[in-house]
């Protein structure tokens, strides 16, 4: 049980935040369409331990506003995690996040996050069986989301090697440095990708060169070799 909890904690708080988001101006239009589904394998010390699926579902109503709706599902022998994410269409900043986490031999946990970007505030509610907890976090700047950063990055251009940018998540803030274009081997193919490194966490992110800027790999060498590795992309209507 202790190993399961450690695996879950490290994955949620160190691997997922490796997705980067930068507060720069975005291009008109988006290089992805509703139904785009990205598949990943999760590796630990070079051994596959699970899979993740990231799906952009397009527009959806949230209250009286139209937003983007995205889901992220992770499955391992130790836990399952389904996230439903609602994002502002112009900035890709989070507005609401709903999570259902199933852990081996433990109660299901439900988490909701309500963001007020004008107040720089997020209200987090956790529920597990009859227990519940509410946390209010306030920041000095707008609050980013690790998963939404995948899409926000793909709207950006004109980054120069050596550029440093700031990530502002609810519980952590750190720098990301763009290290330029390098080659990476994915599915026995050499791909050119833009490489980013986070400080002080030490993660690395590879994003494929080209119009779509597909995220190919997210790795944290300081956490015993955890990595998300791209396997394929599919397109569905919804």
Q: How far is residue 226's CA from residue 117's CA, in Å, rounded to a whole number?
A: 31
Give bridge partners of residue 71 from the DSSP assignment: 55, 84
Query: Taking phi first (over 0 means left), then psi (-120 to 50 degrees means alpha), and beta for anything else, what does residue 105 get?
Result: left
- Kindly write down the DSSP assignment for every residue of 40-87, as one continuous string: EEEEETTEEEEEEEEEEEEEEEETTEEEEEEEEEEE-SSEEEEEEEEE
What pLDDT was estimated at residue 237? 60
The secondary structure of the chain in percent helix, strand, coil, rounded to multiples of 5, reads 10, 55, 35
Measure CA of the first residue to CA of the last residue in the chain; give whole Å. Answer: 37
Q: How far is CA 98 from CA 43, 60, 141, 151, in A?
A: 25, 15, 22, 18
Q: Which residue has the higher pLDDT, 28 or 198?
A: 198
CA angle 178, 209, 153 (to 5 degrees): 55
Q: Which residue has the higher pLDDT, 80 or 222?
A: 80
User: From the centroid of its chain, how far is CA 199?
Assistant: 17
Q: Tell me which H or E stretch contains 204.
A: strand 204-208
Q: Tell me which H or E stretch contains 116.
A: strand 109-116
Q: Of the candidates 63, 66, 101, 95, which has an alpha carbon nearest to the alpha carbon of residue 82?
A: 101
Q: How far is residue 91's CA from residue 24's CA, in Å, rounded to a whole number?
A: 9
What pLDDT was estimated at residue 21? 40
pLDDT, mean of residues 197-205: 80
pLDDT tens digits along 39-77 = 999 998 889 999 999 999 999 999 999 999 999 999 999
pLDDT tens digits along 159-184 = 788 888 787 888 888 888 888 899 99
Q: Is the dihedral of CA 219, 203, 13, 18 positive or negative?
A: negative
What pLDDT was estimated at residue 14? 43
Q: How far is residue 41's CA from residue 32's CA, in Å, rounded to a whole number?
A: 21
pLDDT tens digits along 13-47 = 444 444 444 433 344 467 778 899 999 999 988 89
């Amino acid at each position: 049980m202790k190993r399961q909890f450690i695996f879950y904690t490290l994955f949620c708080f160190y691997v997922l935040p490796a997705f980067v988001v930068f507060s720069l101006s975005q291009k008109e239009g988006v290089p992805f369409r509703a139904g785009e589904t990205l598949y990943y394998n999760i590796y630990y010390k070079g051994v596959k331990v699970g899979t993740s699926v990231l799906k952009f579902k397009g527009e959806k109503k949230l209250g009286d506003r139209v937003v983007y709706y995205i889901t992220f599902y992770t499955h391992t022998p130790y836990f399952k995690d389904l996230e439903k994410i609602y994002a502002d269409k112009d900035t890709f900043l989070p507005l609401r996040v709903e999570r259902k986490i199933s852990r081996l031999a433990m109660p299901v946990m439900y988490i909701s996050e309500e963001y007020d970007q004008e107040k720089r505030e997020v209200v987090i509610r956790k529920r597990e069986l009859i227990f519940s907890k509410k946390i209010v976090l306030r920041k000095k700047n707008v609050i980013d989301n690790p998963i939404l950063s995948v899409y926000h990055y793909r709207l950006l251009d004109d980054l120069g090697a050596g550029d440093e940018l700031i990530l502002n998540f609810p519980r952590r803030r750190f720098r990301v440095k763009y290290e330029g274009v390098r080659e990476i081997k994915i599915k026995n193919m050499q791909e050119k990708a833009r490489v980013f490194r986070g400080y002080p966490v030490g993660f690395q992110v590879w994003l494929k060169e080209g119009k779509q800027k597909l995220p190919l790999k997210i790795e944290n060498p300081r956490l015993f070799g955890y990595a998300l590795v791209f396997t394929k992309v599919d397109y569905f209507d919804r």
